Amino acid sequence: STVSKNLLPADATTIDVYKGAHAVIFMVDPTRKWTLDYVKTNISKIPDGIDCVVLFGKKDLSKLWTLTNGEIEEFMSSQPKNVRQLQISLQDCYGMKELHSFFNVPFLRMKAKYLQQQLQRAEREYEQ
């Protein structure tokens, strides 16, 4: 089969990766400062109303971090309230309970929106 050479890549530069999203997760490797630079560049592209968590991984290897807590705090202080941060470790599951709790936030927002729509529908039906 022949594939057209004019096809565009299907990535964030050509499609809206936030369409239909209820939450965004950015993963920062604190042993590599450039990963925070990527987040700084892209976090402003998140549409209003979508919750975001910035995960700072490798908590178990904090002695190897090239990012300082001050740099993280400075970055987070400039973020809107829908952006949260967690330090996690995939090796010992540090922060996983908090990450799981974060997933409840967009789910409950979606549920509240649905219930609001149901309430409005019921009010319209009652008024008829």
pLDDT for 73-101, tens place per residue?
A: 999 999 998 899 999 998 999 999 999 99
User: Tokens 């925070």 appear where?
Assistant: 36
Stated pTM of the model: 0.77
Segments in 43-95 forming alpha helices (H):
69-77
Could you give the C-alpha distances from 108 to 13, 41, 61, 101, 105, in angstroms and in order? Answer: 30, 28, 33, 11, 5
**What is the Cα–Cα distance from 28 to 33, expressed in whole angstroms?**
8
pLDDT band, very low/low/confident/very high, at 4 (cuts 50, 70, 90): low
